[in-house]
Amino acid sequence: MLLIVSVACARDKVTRDVSLLPAGAREMIKKYFPDSEISYLKIDKKLFRTEGYEVILTGGTELEFDVKGQWKEIESLQTVPDSLVPESIRKYIKRYYGPQGVKKIKHNRRGYELKLTNGMEMEFDNMGNFLRLDD
């Protein structure tokens, strides 16, 4: 019986109700993606608690947020807005890769993982220091 209750409570919820997103996530979307609307929002749940949020915007951009509304991952069909990439990382990319943009950026407790428009993947620490190319 407990197993049935836990499975029932673990269901993810898919909606378009923006009010279910934390305020920080709503503000970030409004600021950096003002011309996009939310196609859908998936609330990731495990047992009785929310684990995070996945958002798909009308332009195809995919965003992941933690329970507090801080972004964890952004993937764009075009490029991620420069202002979402830490300045030291932007400078490094410009210096060594010229006009390449960032298609995907992921932030976790260890640092940043990026994928550039030319397909290169790289990692940086939380201070924006280059760590390695990822192949």
Beta-bridge partners for 56: 40, 62
pLDDT digits (tens, 9 = 90+) for 8-47: 445 678 888 888 999 999 999 999 999 999 999 999 988 7
Say what the pTM is: 0.85
pLDDT digits (tens, 9 = 90+) for 76-107: 999 999 999 999 999 999 999 999 999 999 99
Q: Identify the helix (H) or strand (E) that includes residue 91.
A: helix 87-97
pLDDT at 7 over 60: no
SS in 3 state form for 11-44? CCEEECCHHHCCHHHHHHHHHHCCCCCEEEEEEE
Give the whole-angstrom CA distance, residue 17 versus residue 86. Answer: 30
For residues 69 and 23, the answer to whether their CB atoms sit within 8 Å is yes
